[in-house]
Structure 1
Amino acid sequence: MRNIKLIIEYDGTAYAGWQVQPNGLTIQEVMEKALAKMLGEHATLHASGRTDAGVHARGMVACFKTERTMPLRAFREGLNSLLPSDIAVRDAAEVPLDFHARFNAQAKHYRYTMLLDDLRSPLVRHTAWRVKGKLDIEAMRAACRLFVGEHDFAAFRGANCAAKTTVRRIYSMELVQEGRLLHLDINGSGFLKNMVRIITGTLIEVGQGRLSADDVARLLKGGDRQNAGMTVPPQGLCLMQVFYPAQSGE
């Protein structure tokens, strides 16, 4: 038996998220159908986490077990020949049998991209969310620093979040401006449902002067969700990379 780890890149625009569900086409469903066609048998993909409808990934990690002896390159090339143009396997590696893409993950890097423009841009409509008007970027950067460390993120989770605890650790968080695009890069031990999108919405309100640094500090002490920013749309969010201990095969 072999345990194969895949690094997957996808444009989530046309999908109802990663995880298989009855009410829409998902990345996992498409991937598992391609796997079954290539292997001649069903294989279940265990991913590092879920992404919601419309969210993208450059570095989603998923693993599956198989007894097939084909070379690693064949897993990558074979799957890519069967997948649609908006999903691609970037890498395939063999990892220990006890490796699990979700449970062995140590940290994740997400990026949320905003288009700072009063006019819409057709070229980035699927990968960035447009924010009109001026933002105080330096105030937003100051607020970013408040998120670093271990905090109670109860005010930054979706209404249907089922996590048992709302405490998470953020290792780094910064804003990077690239012309009209503003990227929020956030690296943390784990994330609650919609957490990055609510943090982004909160930072935008800081940039608009609607929230202050003191407001953010209060929210990070287990504040009320209603006092945080909006849940920004999904298209600006991308899972960039998942990090694992060296001994687990990363």
Structure 2
Amino acid sequence: MAFFTRQDDNRTLGGRLALGVEYDGTRYCGWQRLRHAESVQGALEAALSKIAATPVRVLCSGRTDSGVHATRQIVHFDAPVARTQKAWVFGTNAQLPRDIAIRWLVEVESDFHSRFSALARRYRYVIVNQPTRPVLERHNVTWCREPLDADRMHRAAQVLVGEHDFSSYRAAGCQSSTPIRHLHFIEVQRHGALVVIDVQANAFLHHMIRNLAGVLVAVGRGDEDEGYPARLLALRDRTLGNVTAPACGLHFVDVRYDERFALPEEPVGPQMLGFLGDWTGDRDVIPDTPLMRRRRVWPKWIDDNGRVVESNAATGEEMNS
């Protein structure tokens, strides 16, 4: 199994490095570093800086909100000094709190960017559907005591697949310049008491998945009919939407990049769903769109004639994250 690869303790690694990070977001304000609260980024940078003996700043594939978890957050940084792979991974983990860990670290080409090279991001929203509150899983799932019809939720969600204006599913304070996103797939399945919403897109708006989950739970309980997600999508008005589902059930589980970067593959989390046997990259569902073609050659660009050029100055288009 790839995640049992021995950590190199001989050759030093420098230049641009990519790492996979897992964290329990319960006690953090989210990924992004803030002055007034603890963040995952702040804790990771502090730990890496101790190993490097100089300040280190990192960039991530996608910022997560307060209370949201991750099993495969992809991060990159330009190492100010060279250290062995073992020192970067195990040394940094020794400096991190117990709710954050580096899973792997590799050298990457200088044009790799954890955010702008990403082709797709995948999340799983996990609901424990039972009459009594969960105990052992309480920080990593959302509890719903009313019976949910997962098949009904799945059918209702399929209208969301494809490129749409998701204004009705974004937070009121969302700062994205466009509400357009391309949903690659969304599935709702039941596994015993667990109901799992599995969704992948090129990117997500602020609170988009939690708002999707709130809408689908309303459908699953029978409060709304199966046409509700489609009607809400067409309205393009968040104020007419349903409640935002709690953050504790949301897990950032995968990021896809062009194959040339050859990042390590690993089981898709969270570990409570390990019995499904999914590995990152198993699903080849990334559409061949202009955005995806641009991402594969970033930081170069593709002009109107399909030629790769040095920058996006020819088109002036915004790189959508």
TM range (shorter): over 0.9
Q: Aligned residue for 1:100?
A: 113
SS for the counterpart of 2:20 is strand
Letter in 1 for 2:232: L
TM-score, normalised to structure 2, is 0.75
Over alpha carbons, which structure has the higher Rg? 2
CA displacement at 1:217 relative to structure 2? 1.3
Letter in 1 for 2:52: L
Q: Aligned residue for 2:95?
A: 82
Residues 51-78 of structure 1 deviation map (CA, whole Å, 9 limit, x = unaligned): 1111100000111111422222321111
Specify every segment of 5 or more residues in structure 2 that has no aligned partner in the other structure, as ranges. 1-13, 264-321
> Is the 8 Å Cα contact of residues 3 and 64 (structure 1) preserved in structure 2?
yes
Q: Aligned residue for 2:17?
A: 4
Q: Aligned residue for 2:309?
A: none
Q: Aligned residue for 1:64?
A: 77
Find 1:206's aligned residue among 214, 219, 238.
219
SS for the counterpart of 1:168 is strand
1:146 aligns with 2:159: yes
SS for the counterpart of 1:213 is coil
Specify every segment of 5 or more residues in structure 1 that has no aligned partner in the other structure, as ranges. none
> Is the 8 Å Cα contact of residues 170 and 188 (structure 1) preserved in structure 2?
yes
Q: Aligned residue for 2:210?
A: 197
SS for the counterpart of 2:82 is coil
Q: Aligned residue for 1:246?
A: 259
Letter in 2 for 1:116: N
Matches within 5 A, 1:1-250: 2-250=15-263
Residues 200-247 of structure 1 deviation map (CA, whole Å, 9 limit, x = unaligned): 000011112222233221222352212222111100000001111112
- Answer with 69-78 or 194-203: which moved more: 69-78
CA distance in 1: counterparts of 2:262 and 2:58, whole angstroms: 17
Higher-RCO chain (CA-CA 8 Å, sequence separation at least 6):
1
> Is the 8 Å Cα contact of residues 174 and 206 (structure 2) preserved in structure 1?
yes
SS for the counterpart of 2:26 is helix
Letter in 2 for 1:81: A
- Answer with 7-16 or 226-235: which moved more: 226-235
Letter in 2 for 1:223: R
Letter in 2 for 1:45: V
RMSD value, Cα:
1.3
CA displacement at 1:167 relative to structure 2? 0.9
Letter in 2 for 1:33: A
| Aligned residues with identical type, % of pairs | 36
- Between the two proteins, the alignment pairs up a number of residues equal to 250
> Is the 8 Å Cα contact of residues 203 and 229 (structure 1) preserved in structure 2?
no
Residues 54-109 of structure 1 deviation map (CA, whole Å, 9 limit, x = unaligned): 11000001111114222223211111111111111001011111211111111011
